[in-house]
Amino acid sequence: MNPNPSTPHPEHASDGPTRTEQGTAQGGRPLGPRALRTRQRLLEITQDLLAERSVRDVSVVEIARRAGTSPATFYQYFADVEEAVLELASAAAEQVPSILEPLAVDWSGERGVAAARVLVDVFIRHWDANHAALLFRNVAAEQGDKRFQKVRIRAMHPVLQALAKKIEASQPNAAASGLHPVAAAAALAAILERLAAYHVELEAAKVSRDQLVETCARIVHRVVCG
């Protein structure tokens, strides 16, 4: 598995929402408040189960049982467990703009290192909260599933765009020194995503979370500021 982000083209980032993102039932029927609550409850149960086991080991029957409803009710909202995971990944994509807020401040000197530290920490926390859905999103996208490709592009394009703009602002002559802002942004995004996805394994190898955040933050800061 390779969860490193591809470099999405900006024109893809504005694609319209999928059916699951629109809050509709199978067939496109709009949902009322009560149905929306039921649908959200099914998603929450799916998220809880993903914290315990892999997506392939989560069944519709168990989701429905834990939610106190029937498999037939689940199928009113989602075609299968994979589609519920798609919705969870889509919801995670909506959180990305807030993750990028540290890029809005001045990154000169130690103030910039502190901002980079916040960026890395929040990015890892975002992955921790949505780990199974995001990991499945990346694997499915790389296997050619266009639904997950679309959600991944929508999540990662703002990251690449914000990092590239920060590099351009911090290094007006970056291209003259052989640094392409978009390529550099893609490399940083790959580092962030990879470390966020597998930081638990590094911690098991005696790399503390604080050490991981600090090291990654300083790498990001040096690339952004030159």
Q: pLDDT tens across 88-145, in order?
A: 999 999 999 999 999 999 999 999 999 999 999 999 999 999 999 999 999 999 999 9
pLDDT reported for residue 43: 96
Decide if 147 is inside a domain.
yes
On whether both 154 and 211 belong to a single domain, the answer is yes
* pLDDT given for residue 26 in this prediction: 59
* Res 60: pLDDT: 97
**Are residues 46 and 149 part of one domain?**
no
Are 65 and 150 in the same domain?
no
Name the domain boundary from 60, 90, 120. 90
Q: Which of 73, 90, 107 is the last residue of a domain?
A: 90
- pLDDT at position 170: 92
Whether residue 4 is contained in a domain is answered as no
| Same structural domain, 81 and 101 | no
pTM of the full predicted structure? Answer: 0.82
Is 78 a domain residue?
yes
- Residue 157 structural domain: 96-225
Q: 197 vs 113, 126, 149, 219, CA distance in Å?
A: 22, 10, 18, 18
113 and 86 in one domain?
no
Q: What is the DSSP letter of 24?
A: B
Paired strand residues for 24:
30
Residue 207 belongs to a domain: yes
Residues 107 and 209 in one domain: yes
Give the number of domains in the chain: 2
Q: Are residues 205 and 160 in the same domain?
A: yes
Residues 162 and 196 in one domain: yes
Return the structure tokens found at 137: 């999103």
- Extract the residue ranges of the chain whose pLDDT is less than 70: 1-32
If phi > 0 it is left, if psi is from -120 to 50 it is alpha, else beta; for residue 96 that is alpha
Looking at residue 32, its pLDDT comes to: 67
Cβ atoms of residues 13 and 154 within 8 Å: yes
Are residues 34 and 75 both part of a single domain? yes
Pair 190, 221 in one domain: yes
The whole-number pLDDT of residue 34 equals 83
